[in-house]
Every structure is written in C-alpha cells, then in structure tokens.
C-alpha cells in the first residue's frame, strides 16, 4: 500500500524567506508524485508533478520540488515566500499510474510580515 507523510502540520515563514515543505512517501517502486495547494475555501490546484527523469522539477508560482529516491522524499521549495503563498499544501503519491492518489494530511503555511 502507498502512503504519504507530511511531518509538519504548521509552518510559519517570514515574507521573503525561503521555504521547504517536507514529504516522505512509502511505495515499493518510484511512484508518480504531486504537490497541490489549497487556499481557504478553494479547491486544490496542482503545483507540480514528478513522473521520471530530472529529479528537480519546476512548477507554477515559483515552486520547485526535488525527488530523492534514497530518502523516499519529495520536498517542496520556494526561494522567497510571498504573503499570497499562505495556504495548505498537500503532497500526493500515485503508485499505480491509474490516478489512485493518496494524499498526505497537509501542511498549513503561515506567512508573517
């Protein structure tokens, strides 16, 4: 069975500072990996995805994520956080390729002035 762990429930970052959100997955092979963002009262928006190839993937809104097979991790990063980035972030894994995504419980990002 596949699973996803996001160790941080809440993270507070100062505006302009760098950000890293952690994600660890459990699956026997290399799965499909995703990061989504959810603003309050909104649906989920896909930030980026990893299927294969280059382990550093670029997404929308200036986000990037790095796949590390040895650590079973797929951490999300942004060099400089903006107040509008405050939202909840979800990491997801799909081991089968049949869109049976399993989500982590999410990390709430708070941005301080």
Binding footprint of other proteins on the chain (CB under 8 A): 32, 34, 36, 42-46, 49, 51, 90, 94, 97-106
70 phi, psi to nearest 5 deg: -65, -25
Nearer of residues 15 and 44 to other proteins, judged by Cβ: 44
Rg of the chain's alpha carbons, rounded to an integer?
13
Nearer of residues 4 and 111 to other proteins, judged by Cβ: 4
Min dist CB 16 to other proteins, Å, is: 29
Nearer of residues 25 and 106 to other proteins, judged by Cβ: 106
Q: List b or e across 8-27, with b for residues whose CB sees 16 or more CB atoms inside 10 angstroms.
A: eeebebeeeeebebbbbbeb
Min dist CB 11 to other proteins, Å, is: 16
As to burial, measured by CB atoms within 10 angstroms (0-12 exposed, 13-18 middle, 19+ buried), residue 58 is exposed
Min dist CB 79 to other proteins, Å, is: 23
């Amino acid at each position: 069975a596949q699973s996803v762990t996001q160790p941080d429930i809440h993270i507070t970052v100062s505006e302009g500072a760098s950000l890293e959100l952690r994600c660890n997955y459990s699956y026997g092979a290399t799965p499909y990996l995703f990061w989504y963002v959810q603003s309050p009262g909104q649906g989920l928006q896909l930030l980026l995805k990893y299927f294969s190839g280059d382990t550093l993937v670029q997404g929308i809104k200036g986000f990037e994520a790095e796949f590390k097979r040895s650590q079973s991790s797929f951490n999300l990063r942004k060099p400089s956080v903006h107040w509008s980035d405050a939202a909840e972030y979800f990491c997801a894994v799909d081991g089968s390729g049949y869109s049976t995504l399993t989500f982590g419980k999410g990390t709430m990002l708070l941005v301080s002035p």
